[in-house]
Amino acid sequence: MLISQEKFENIYQNELTPKQKKVLPLFLAGQTDEHIARELGATHRSTASHQLRNISTKFGFPPETEPDYRCNLIEMFAKYKPELVSVKALEKCGHIIQNIRFPEGLEPLNSAFYQERSPIESRCYTAIKELGALIRIKAPKQMGKTSLLKRIMAEAKKSSYSTVYLNFSLIETNKFTNANDFLRSFYAYAMNQLPSAPPLIVWDTDIPSMVNCTRIFQSLLKQLDGVLVLALDEVDKLFEYPEIYQNFFPMLRNWNENANESETWEKLRLLVAHSTEDYGRLDINQSPFNVGLPIKLEEFTEEQVKSLAIRHGLDSKNILPLMSLVGGHPYLVRLALYYLVSQDASIGELLQQATTDTGIYSEHLRRHLETFQENQELGRVFKEIVSNTQGIKIERKNRQFYQLDSMGVIKFSNSFVMPRCRLYHEYFGDRL
């Protein structure tokens, strides 16, 4: 198991001997033990091997119990000091994937290309085990919310927790006609994932739907032998239906608050993922969006993008030009890395065509452009943003700002709003 970045930095900076500091970069560059020994002025390769065993022990991989200690070292440095790790070293441990999956949708649990944003994952894994936990994940679309949410659920399953996942964008539109029909459907989706759930025939049409849903979920929790993790993804969908969210969100808030005084409700753990903070006419004191552990997913840092690049078998020299165009936007970065590998394109060629209708981002950009053409007021506001190099000053956040934030095409800086990256600035500046 990898140590924390803080502990790693302390060992790297303070605990390595001068000789170990000479051996380590040669090893991470992919050099053989013979070559390392010669660089040290030694006559036998065992000198290098001895130093690497000692280094590995300091980082928590004693060779006596960790037969793959060399690859563990490479993996650790690929995560925390990617600029030191060569493609050659990664290849030795099989960390470079030859058949790279097109980056679409969530990153599978076994993916080599899921990029952790430490300490977010560890915080969530700890929080989900707390009584009555509520974790709310906020980020624009394509920033990795669902990938994180699925990993929290996987961690919960290790503790034998029951899990239910519900993506609201996949619920049929006709289920949003009224609160009673919606809550029945909501329970039906949960019931289908839990064999022990009470059947829908116990639904009492003579009492209010929120009371009914609460009563039946309480019955479900009582029957469960253990914890239930209820993961609700893309709850923004509900903001289009005031009659629904004005009942549903206060109900979730009530369930979470019940955990403070009820052994039954403390078995419920809530995961809520959303793209925007526009809650319409909902009273914030009835909302689940201002309680629990808030997790805000930011863009990847330069080091995180470097780590991704080397796992694709790419030199880190590609990173700065790419980030100058798309920043650390997870999806835009991953798409570029995919094409750099799969089509053997140069970073110069890729960037030159990026804002054209034949570039790798054309489908992504056209989809947003169609949204702006269909929603003229939204397009007008975004046109004003991209037309000003410094962005525009925010007097107050309006409905359009929330929508643009949800789409992931803007960012807020102090009291200004501006395009999220140069790609959006140049493409939409020409077309809106």
The secondary structure of 22-48 as a DSSP string is HHHHHHHTT--HHHHHHHTT-SSTHHH
Asked if 4 contacts 12 with a C-beta cutoff of 8 angstroms, the reply is no
Grade residue 279 by pLDDT with cuts at 50, 70 and 90. low
CATH architecture of 5-92: Orthogonal Bundle (1.10)
Grade residue 228 by pLDDT with cuts at 50, 70 and 90. very high
pLDDT over 60 (residue 73): yes
Residue 96 has what pLDDT?
57
Residue among 214, 277, 274 nearest 247 (CA): 214
Grade residue 1 by pLDDT with cuts at 50, 70 and 90. low
Amino acid symbol at 276: T
pLDDT over 70 (residue 346): yes
pLDDT over 90 (residue 76): no
Q: How many CA atoms lie within 13 A of 22 on its CB side?
A: 12
Q: Report which DSSP code applies to 178.
A: S
Residue 315 has what pLDDT?
76
Amino acid symbol at 258: N
Cis peptide before 419 (omega within 30 of 0): no
Amino acid symbol at 359: G
The more confidently predicted of residues 263 and 76 is 263
Global pTM reads: 0.81
Q: Token digits for 79?
A: 């995560």
**How far apart (Å, rounded) are the C-alpha atoms in residues 83 and 64?**
29
pLDDT over 80 (residue 324): yes
Average pLDDT in the 331-337 region?
95
Tell me the average pLDDT of the chain: 87
CATH architecture of 120-296: 3-Layer(aba) Sandwich (3.40)
Going by C-beta distance under 8 Å and a sequence separation of 6 or more, which residues neighbour residue 168? 232, 233, 234, 235, 236, 237, 238
Residue 11 has what pLDDT?
93
Average pLDDT in the 197-213 region?
73
Q: Tell me: the pLDDT tens digits for 369-402?
A: 999 999 999 999 999 999 987 788 887 778 888 8
pLDDT over 90 (residue 432): no
Residue 390 has what pLDDT?
79
SS3 224: coil
SS3 207: coil
Q: Report which DSSP code applies to 95.
A: -
Ramachandran angles phi, psi of 103, nearest 5°: -75, 95
Degrees (nearest 5) of the Cα angle 70, 48, 40? 140
Give pairs for 11-19: CB < 8 Å, separation 24+: 11/58, 11/59, 12/80, 12/81, 15/58, 16/55, 16/58, 19/51
Average pLDDT in the 326-350 region?
91
Grade residue 251 by pLDDT with cuts at 50, 70 and 90. very high
Q: By mean pLDDT, which of 109-118, 128-137, 292-301, 380-389 is the weakest? A: 109-118
Q: Token digits for 424?
A: 């959006």
Residue 255 has what pLDDT?
94
Q: Report which DSSP code applies to 299.
A: P
Residue among 248, 239, 234, 231 nearest 134 (CA): 231
Grade residue 22 by pLDDT with cuts at 50, 70 and 90. very high
Average pLDDT in the 48-77 region?
89
Q: What percent of the chain has pLDDT over 90?
A: 46
**How far apart (Å, rounded) are the C-alpha atoms in residues 228 and 209?**
21
**How far apart (Å, rounded) are the C-alpha atoms in residues 186 and 255?**
15
Residue 72 has what pLDDT?
86
Grade residue 13 by pLDDT with cuts at 50, 70 and 90. very high
**How far apart (Å, rounded) are the C-alpha atoms in residues 114 and 393?**
35
